[in-house]
Structure 1
Amino acid sequence: MAPNALFSLPTFRVLAMLLLLLSPIAAAGHDYHDALRKSILFFEGQRSGRLPPDQRLRWRRDSALHDGAAAGVDLTGGYYDAGDNIKFGFPMAFTTTMLSWSVIDFGKTMGPELGNALKAVRWGTDYLLKATAKVGTSGVVFVQVGDPYSDHNCWERPEDMDTSRAVYKVDGSHPGSDVAGETAAALAAASIVFRSRDPSYSAMLLKRAVTVFDFADRHRGAYSNSLRRAVCPFYCDVNGYQDELLWAAAWLHKASRRRQYREYIIKNEVILRAGDTINEFGWDNKHAGINILISKEVLMGRANYFSSFKENADGFICSTLPGIPHPQVQFSPGGLIFKAGGSNMQHVTSLSFLLLAYSNYLSHANKVVSCGQTTVTPAFLRHVAKRQVDYILGDNPLGMSYMVGYGARYPQRIHHRGSSLPSVATHPAHIGCKAGSQYFFSPNPNPNVLVGAVVGGPTNNTDSFPDSRPFFQESEPTTYINAPLVGLLAFFTAHP
């Protein structure tokens, strides 16, 4: 059979078993375009700063208009990463990178939503440009606004914030190669997005990405060592900063085609551990993403010097699929990718994005992946990715969509301050730090629907879900869950 067939004949029995395991709970057809529209709309609910006239989630208002004042800089804008009111630079940069990758690979199938996706990317990059404005002159990158402990001690709307908006930075004496590297990756990826759409903006993004990467590489160290109290345990870098340096170099190579980044990648592949934890991908661990991204060059026949990354990418595929010898990723009885820890959907969407992206790269190169005696085709990888998307949208044992506002049944009590408290329009008076607690503990549904938000979902392998605000690991949405999902939904909009 051709590589686009679902499986090759020698492996019919193995993959037939996998298909049975991954078959939908219900054969419900999904409106992927509607889900795509809502997944992008979610980012408008996470906006910080002064909202634009075309803001569509009208229950939100301007917030955090003095961010950066404590450091004498303008750090307004950007995104709140989840259900709190802190602006964490590390996950925000990763979110921006994945939104950009979604547009780069799948923008052609976004239809009328492409414009909104571009706005979502730009809302992130405009902020990252502010956060890195002093990197060239003062060697400073601002990486966080807001004290997480005072913020997490309150339950209040972003419009009412009266907690500390302390500003945190990394510099030559207090390095943060991880957060700076991810920021460079985000700026470089976004420069590709805007290359033909806004050339001057694209050039600015790429120039800044080069400067930020140079800073990250020259002053090596993990930002959680420099800023432990501010970033741990919230977005503490457990995996180390090496992968972000290689990730940033990969995006800079893709964006600039400069030989220096190709040579950097080859020279530092072993030093920066490109082959480590190849089945992990998320805001803290870029290894699988590095290998998939660089492998496209190999599959297109342009870069045999990157062949080891292609081997690692194949290893990622073989470690991820069920039924393959020695898999490193579990699946729940309902067919959901499952990894221990909180906010499991971040793994579901990020890993599924890589499966789909690699499927497309393999398909264009007319290639397959060999996992021992099993041959995995591009069509099968698409099937696995689609199964995960369909689970999120409602094809699961509970028959519930994990995307707020999509389908007949979805989470009603998500762990999100702005969504759970009365809007400024309905309750203009200030709601203080502890006054919001009554809404946090209320059994009532959230009064404001955060359309498109995908929550953390089941965090065990029983497919169970408590629709309750205190269970934040299950009920809290994040920007980095949605960002890869944008690309997935865009593809399945055109290929249902």
Structure 2
Amino acid sequence: MSEPTSMRLPLLFAGFLCIATPVMAKEAAVSPIRVNQMGLLANAAKLAILPASATQPLDWSLRDAGGQVVASGKTIVTGDDAASGQHLHRIDLSAVTMTGEGFTLAAGGAVSRAFAIGTGPYGRLKRDALAYFYHNRAGIPIEARFVGAAWARPAGHEKEIAPCYGGKDEGGNDWTACGHSLNVTGGWYDAGDHGKYVVNGGIALWTLLNLAERQTLKGKAPAFPDGTAAIPEAGNGVNDLLDEARWQMEFMLTMQVPDGSRMPLPLGPQDGSKRLNFTQDVDISGMAHHKVADERWTGLPLPPHMDKERRFLYPPSTAATLNLAATAAQAARIWKTIDPAFAERCLVAAVRAWKAAVRVPDALATSNFDGSGGYGDKDVADEFFWAHAELLITTRHAVFTQAVTGSSFFGRDTLAEPSWAQTSSLGALSLALHPDALAEADSARIRAAILRTADLYAGEAADSGYAQPMGPKAYGWGSNSGLMNRALILAYAHDLSGQGAYRDRVVDVADYLLGRNPLDISYVSGYGARAMQRPHHRFWAHVLDPKLPPPPPGVVSGGPNGGDSLGDEARKRIGPCAPQTCWKDDIDLFTVNEVTINWNAPLVWLTAWLDEG
């Protein structure tokens, strides 16, 4: 397989680091036939898509690098497709067993660009996708020896000791600052801004930890054995994936409120306006602050070490507290034999957080603050289920068994699409990895729900012109994340059943991300002839300041947004669009081209899973 065409990133091979200079790619012309720009997997279904007005099947032929026809057939007319706004033909190459480079596909007078058939780019892409997290670490210099000189930068928000926010918010509410400051140095910047959010960090952290735990429990070779990732901790005897995850876990622990802390908080549902009703003297001990972030929004570009805004701890929330409880419980069992002292610290924090959430179950986050994302959540029942599941697996305590089996989420036939706002599926997937945590009949219910959900997604893929497990109305903000998290459930279904059809649907999502989509765009930087290069990011802002770098390879865009959240500016710049085409590679358009930790985390998970073979 060829190297990414748009830029080069350090790769770690046999103990040494090769560093090259990044360059912005000249964008290739649109291919009339859509195919994964990095190549098709030899051991999976292989599809290409032809947008064409013909209503009858067309002849197609596949030629090798020497120009010889090695396969041929008729297209399958799938017709008008609501998600793409195109009339489509499907070309099924699954019967092709040849591997190599330089294949071209012709159909209806159109010819594709050259592509490969083989193992795919996933071994390399999983490393680049994981490198996203080191690039976006706070509180530590990002060193040239790991990322190359172009991406190196001083530490952002070094020695970050933040006070609690106090004063009037955008709704005119007067917040009383809590009486403590916390050293919250470290963690990952969430997205294009410099905020650090516990709820977004929680699902991103869970995803990386779940990958490591799954591979261990299923006897798979680790995706990132010690010394294979370009991070400072490589060589310490610990799986590099866990080293990167621990950087965030340590930060999450620092966001926990000290004992004896009290403050006024708005509790329960509010009236929908920005005016809030406060309950006085709430005991917030053991809760987690929702975020640490800038007082005011900053503009682009802005390297993190040049961010001069005041930083505050924003009020604790029940959702953040349960994110801490869930991930700390998960970490406690994973590090139990690796670092028992750290594992015990995590477990103590998890139990404290759970007790705090039970005591204050309705501290709902507000979006009233300038300078950072709100991540408001009006229903935290899903976070309770997730936290109870993780605590049950780790402690095996009867109180958590009762909480899990008594939850409305436990009785449901299907799982919800995982997201920062809907985390119940995370608990179900963790329980599937630990069937002995529940009675066999209860574990069977979890497994059945996973398989039924996967079947629903597979049905949606069958109805989709581009074979994606998501209906046209679901392409909202972060649609690529939605696809990847659905693919994660499909991967679990394959693990549980061994049915190859589930794996093929995961491959469909990877193919879509890497170019088999109506825009002929690879949404992953550095991978493909037409790869995303202008994410909404304050440091990867070469298009705004030539002294700053473009994104490194392995960064996934949020993707098309055909929903109400697209926004006026994006709508103006993009123009009329079908759901899968409401996207533009524009650094200003955060509703379509933002990048985040909770979107790159499932990219790591899926590429590592596909790399297992």
TM-score (ref. length: structure 1): 0.77
1:56 alignment partner, SS class: helix
What CA deviation, in whole Å up to 9, does each residue of 1:105-164 have, x standing for no partner?
13634154473312220111010111126258733422211146x125564221100123
CA 1:396–1:223: 2 relative to 1, 3 Å? same
Give 1:411's aligned residue. 532
CA distance in 2, matches of 1:31, 1:307: 35
CA distance in 1, matches of 2:437, 2:77: 32
Moved more, 474-483 or 214-223: 214-223
CA distance in 1, matches of 2:91, 2:259: 48
Give 2:595's aligned residue. 477
The answer on 1:245 being equivalent to 2:245 is: no
CA distance in 2, matches of 1:136, 1:303: 42
Give 1:435's aligned residue. none
CA distance in 2, matches of 1:110, 1:43: 16
Give 2:68's aligned residue. none
- The equivalences for 1:84-483 within 5 A come to 84-106=193-215, 108-112=221-225, 113=228, 115-132=239-256, 134=258, 138-147=285-294, 150-152=296-298, 155-170=301-316, 176-224=317-365, 227-230=366-369, 234-238=373-377, 240-267=379-406, 269-270=407-408, 275=412, 278-297=415-434, 302-322=439-459, 331=464, 333=466, 335=468, 337=470, 339-363=474-498, 378-420=499-541, 440=544, 447-460=549-562, 461-463=579-581, 465-483=583-601
CA distance in 1, matches of 2:604, 2:350: 24
CA 1:301–1:186: 2 relative to 1, 3 Å? closer
Contact 2:367–2:373 (CA under 8 A) maintained in structure 1 = no
2:289 alignment partner, SS class: strand
What CA deviation, in whole Å up to 9, does each residue of 1:203-232 have, x standing for no partner?
2212211221121122101432xx441399
Give 1:375's aligned residue. none
Report the AA paired with residue 589 of structure 2.
F
Residue 188 (structure 1) shift = 1.6
Work out which of the residue numbers 182, 186, 190 in structure 2 matches 1:81. Answer: 190
Give 1:64's aligned residue. 157
Contact 2:224–2:241 (CA under 8 A) maintained in structure 1 = no
* Root mean square deviation of aligned Cα: 3.5
Contact 1:109–1:493 (CA under 8 A) maintained in structure 2 = no
- The equivalences for 1:32-71 within 5 A come to 32-51=122-141, 56-57=146-147, 58-71=151-164
Residue 241 (structure 1) shift = 0.5
Question: Size of the alignment, in residue pairs?
Answer: 434
Question: Percentage identity across aligned positions?
Answer: 22
Residue 99 (structure 1) shift = 1.0
What CA deviation, in whole Å up to 9, does each residue of 1:443-465 have, x standing for no partner?
x8973333321111223433464
1:166 alignment partner, SS class: strand
Report the AA paired with residue 352 of structure 2.
T
CA distance in 1, matches of 2:287, 2:444: 36
Report the AA paired with residue 191 of structure 1.
A
TM-score (ref. length: structure 2): 0.63
Contact 1:156–1:417 (CA under 8 A) maintained in structure 2 = yes
Moved more, 135-144 or 39-48: 135-144
Contact 2:415–2:449 (CA under 8 A) maintained in structure 1 = yes
CA distance in 2, matches of 1:77, 1:160: 16
CA distance in 1, matches of 2:205, 2:586: 29
Report the AA paired with residue 551 of structure 2.
V
CA distance in 2, matches of 1:362, 1:277: 16
Contact 2:301–2:537 (CA under 8 A) maintained in structure 1 = no
2:540 alignment partner, SS class: helix
CA 1:266–1:279: 2 relative to 1, 3 Å? closer
Residue 290 (structure 1) shift = 3.2
2:422 alignment partner, SS class: coil
CA distance in 2, matches of 1:231, 1:299: 46
Contact 1:146–1:167 (CA under 8 A) maintained in structure 2 = yes
CA 1:317–1:260: 2 relative to 1, 3 Å? same
What CA deviation, in whole Å up to 9, does each residue of 1:58-85 have, x standing for no partner?
4232011243332422011111111111
CA 1:216–1:44: 2 relative to 1, 3 Å? same
Moved more, 206-215 or 73-82: 206-215
Residue 285 (structure 1) shift = 0.3
Report the AA paired with residue 178 of structure 1.
A
Structure with more strand by fraction = 2
Report the AA paired with residue 331 of structure 2.
A
What CA deviation, in whole Å up to 9, does each residue of 1:229-284 have, x standing for no partner?
139993433461010011011111222233331122123x13x6763983321111
CA distance in 2, matches of 1:351, 1:266: 24
2:605 alignment partner, SS class: helix
Residue 288 (structure 1) shift = 3.1
Residue 400 (structure 1) shift = 3.5
Report the AA paired with residue 246 of structure 2.
R
CA distance in 2, matches of 1:229, 1:52: 33
Contact 2:533–2:550 (CA under 8 A) maintained in structure 1 = no
Contact 1:333–1:463 (CA under 8 A) maintained in structure 2 = no
CA distance in 1, matches of 2:585, 2:337: 44
Contact 1:352–1:388 (CA under 8 A) maintained in structure 2 = yes
CA 1:35–1:476: 2 relative to 1, 3 Å? same
CA distance in 1, matches of 2:402, 2:503: 33
CA distance in 2, matches of 1:147, 1:31: 38
CA distance in 1, matches of 2:582, 2:466: 11
CA distance in 1, matches of 2:396, 2:539: 43
CA distance in 1, matches of 2:411, 2:527: 38
Contact 1:288–1:313 (CA under 8 A) maintained in structure 2 = no
CA 1:277–1:180: 2 relative to 1, 3 Å? farther
Residue 193 (structure 1) shift = 2.9
2:146 alignment partner, SS class: coil
Give unpaired runs (5+ residues) of structure 1.
Answer: 7-15, 171-175, 364-377, 422-438
Structure with more helix by fraction = 1
1:144 alignment partner, SS class: strand
Contact 1:299–1:361 (CA under 8 A) maintained in structure 2 = no
CA 1:110–1:311: 2 relative to 1, 3 Å? closer
Give 1:11's aligned residue. none
What CA deviation, in whole Å up to 9, does each residue of 1:309-332 have, x standing for no partner?
3443344223322259xx9xx846
Residue 407 (structure 1) shift = 3.5
Give unpaired runs (5+ residues) of structure 2.
Answer: 1-43, 46-75, 79-88, 94-111, 165-180, 230-238, 262-284, 563-578
